[in-house]
Amino acid sequence: AAGVIQSPRHLIKEKRETATLKCYPIPRHDTVYWYQQGPGQDPQFLISFYEKMQSDKGSIPDRFSAQQFSDYHSELNMSSLELGDSALYFCASSLGVLLSLDTEAFFGQGTRLTVV
């Protein structure tokens, strides 16, 4: 079965550069979530989208922005990168938002971002 696809899998950037991470949800899924996981940390929620509209926002830095496109894929844009942004970034997708439906979210394999 098709899963959540994230690209690239690995990314190395220098400080102050920008990065764009992409997420392709499971077909027919309309909700996308972004998470950041630093070394030795648990995944932290960044932001989510439902039907191309932002549905919730967590501890996402102002330097980061995201959107969901008409084909439901999502992109996380990160500017003025800092060393502390080095982390695993996971995307998840679900059919409908978790609160309102008996549904589950599936995660991609993540993008490992290294800022040097």
Q: Which of residues 48-77 bind another protein (CB under 8 A)?
A: 48, 50, 55-56, 58
Nearer to another protein, 4 or 81 (CB): 4
Q: Give the shortest CB-80-to-another protein separation in angstroms.
A: 26
Phi, psi values for residue 34, rounded to 5° = -120, 135
Residues 6+ apart with CB under 8 A from 66: 34, 46, 47, 49, 54, 60, 74, 75, 76, 77
Asked whether position 45 contacts another protein by CB under 8 A, the answer is yes
Residues 6+ apart with CB under 8 A from 59: 44, 45, 46
Q: Give the shortest CB-92-to-another protein separation in angstroms.
A: 8
Binding site for another protein (CB under 8 A): 4, 31, 33, 35, 37, 42-45, 48, 50, 55-56, 58, 88, 90, 92, 97-100, 102, 104-110, 112
